[in-house]
């Protein structure tokens, strides 16, 4: 599913126009990106958690030459799926507490 197909599905499910669904989706994604870029964690209960994570510097290898190269430390985005999302993908019903 690409972005336009997702917008169509959101518009149909929420009974919105495609323009409104596009605006809502874009705003949600932009807000999540800004929050994670600041170092905040965004948790959508049942869906998952978006957060930033530090990756240490390491030594890699150029596959063409075999020569060792240094890979700098960086910060990367991480997503951890929530329990409901995991069970839906696995085809199981989510347990209610």
Taking residues 6-18, report their average pLDDT: 95
Asked if residue 62 and residue 28 are part of one domain, the reply reads: no
Q: Could you list the residue range(s) of the whole structural domain that residue 10 is in? A: 1-38
Please tell me the total count of domains within the chain.
2
The pTM of this model reads: 0.78
Name residue 50's beta-bridge partners. 42, 79
* 49, 85 Cβ separation under 8 angstroms: no
- Mean pLDDT, the chain, as a whole number? 93
Asked if residue 21 and residue 3 are part of one domain, the reply reads: yes
Phi first, then psi: what are they for 56, rounded to 5°?
A: -70, 160
Matching residue, tokens 């800004």: 34
> 84: buried, middle or exposed (CB in 10 Å: 19+, 13-18, 0-12)?
middle
């Amino acid at each position: 599913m690409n972005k336009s197909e997702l917008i169509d599905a959101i518009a149909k499910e929420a009974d919105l126009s495609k323009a409104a669904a596009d605006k809502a989706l874009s705003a949600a994604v932009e807000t999540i990106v800004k929050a994670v870029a600041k170092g905040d964690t965004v948790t959508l209960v049942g869906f998952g958690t978006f957060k930033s994570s530090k990756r240490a510097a390491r030594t890699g290898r150029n596959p063409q030459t075999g020569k060792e190269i240094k890979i700098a430390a960086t910060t990367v985005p991480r997503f951890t799926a929530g329990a409901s999302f995991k069970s839906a993908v696995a085809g199981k019903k989510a347990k209610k507490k």
